[in-house]
Structure 1
Amino acid sequence: MTVYQLVQIIWAVSCGLLIILVLLHSPKGDGLGGIGGQAQLFSSVKSAEATLNRVTWILSLTFISLTVVLSAGWLNN
């Protein structure tokens, strides 16, 4: 297995995980739950959302970086 193939595998896995993580995000609108303050009821939900945001940003930067590396041809096939 060459470095190019390894980078392609990491790129494909990061793509799949990024799709899953984006689908796991909750909508930003509070809807009717925002009227009574129920959206802020659980702090663990905010913590989970912050972690999900952090992991999504890391994976998106990984995906974009590997896309540039693979498309620029900086690695020999």
Structure 2
Amino acid sequence: MSATTVITAIWVISAVGLTALVLLHSPKGDGLGGLGGQAQLFTSTKSAETTLNRATWILTVLFMGMTVILSGGWLDAPPPTL
């Protein structure tokens, strides 16, 4: 398994997770989380919002970092010669 394959898998997983978190998060209401009863998993609305915000930011940074690495082609480039 090459490094490119591993980074691509992490990139795809972070993209799917980020999409799900964005759909669950809604500052004006329950969002789609209200459909499945996800809002009751947390003790308060504030902790639910804080948790969703943190998870969204973490996946955003991960997704953007993997995007830069994959688009730069740094993993496929031959090592520099001295």
Measured in 2, the distance between the counterparts of 1:7 and 1:57 equals: 19
Aligned to 1:55: 55
Q: Counterparts in 2 of 1:35-46, with a 5 A limit?
A: 44-46=44-46
For 1:17 and 1:73, how far apart are their aligned partners in 2?
A: 24
Root mean square deviation, CA, Å: 1.7
Q: TM-score, normalised by structure 2?
A: 0.72
Query: Quick check: 1:23 aligned with 2:27?
Result: no
Aligned length: 64
Structure 2: distance between partners of 1:12 and 1:5: 11
> Which residue is equivalent to 1:76?
76
Residue 6 (structure 1) aligned with residue 6 (structure 2)? yes
In 2, distance between residues paired with 1:27 and 1:47?
A: 13
TM-score (norm 1): 0.76
Unaligned runs of 5+ in 1: 30-42
Instruction: Return the offset for 1:8.
Output: 0.1
Unmatched 5+ stretches in structure 2: 30-42, 78-82
List structure 1 runs of 4+ shifted beyond 4 angstroms. none
Identity %, equivalent residues: 55
| Greater RCO (Cα-Cα under 8 Å, separation 6 or more) | 1
CA distance in 1, matches of 2:26, 2:10: 26
**Residue identity in the other structure for 2:13:** V
What displacement does 1:48 show? 1.1
